[in-house]
Amino acid sequence: MGTSKLEHHKSILIVDDLPFVRKKIKEVLRMVGYHIAGEASDGLEGLNMIRQLKPDLVLLDITMPKMDGLQVLKQLDKSQKVIMCSSLGEEKYILTAIKWGAMDFIVKPFTDERLIRAVHNVLSR
């Protein structure tokens, strides 16, 4: 996967309630040169961090405590780039997520290549 120098300065926020998922995403994206701005373990914390850090991209899980990913997405500025992540079987949320501004949707478990491709595609728009 070729990424330009410019993309290495793009900041990404990971919002997922599962520590092992956040760790995996962080490792994969750092390996190809992306900057991880931070991590949040629930929707409310994620929303606050998005407003505070203003990341270039948010990877947002759907099923989380306190506030789910769709509730977070609905409150974001439409200019915020977001990729939704969700477990197998939650595909019914794809249309809602896209309608509310998500730019891509990754179904877990996903491959490293799918994650990298989605991030690269969204950040290059």
Each residue of 98-109: pLDDT tens digit?
999 999 999 989
- pTM metric for this prediction: 0.91
The three-class DSSP label of residue 102 is coil
CATH number of 5-123: 3.40.50.2300
Q: Note the maximum CA span of the chain.
A: 38
Mean pLDDT of 39-48: 97
- Count the alpha carbons within 13 Å of 112 in the hemisphere toward its beta carbon: 10
The owner of tokens 């961090």 is 49
Q: What is the pLDDT of residues 71-124, one digit of tens each?
A: 999 999 989 999 999 886 667 788 899 999 999 999 989 999 999 999 999 999
57 close to 83: Cβ distance less than 8 angstroms: yes
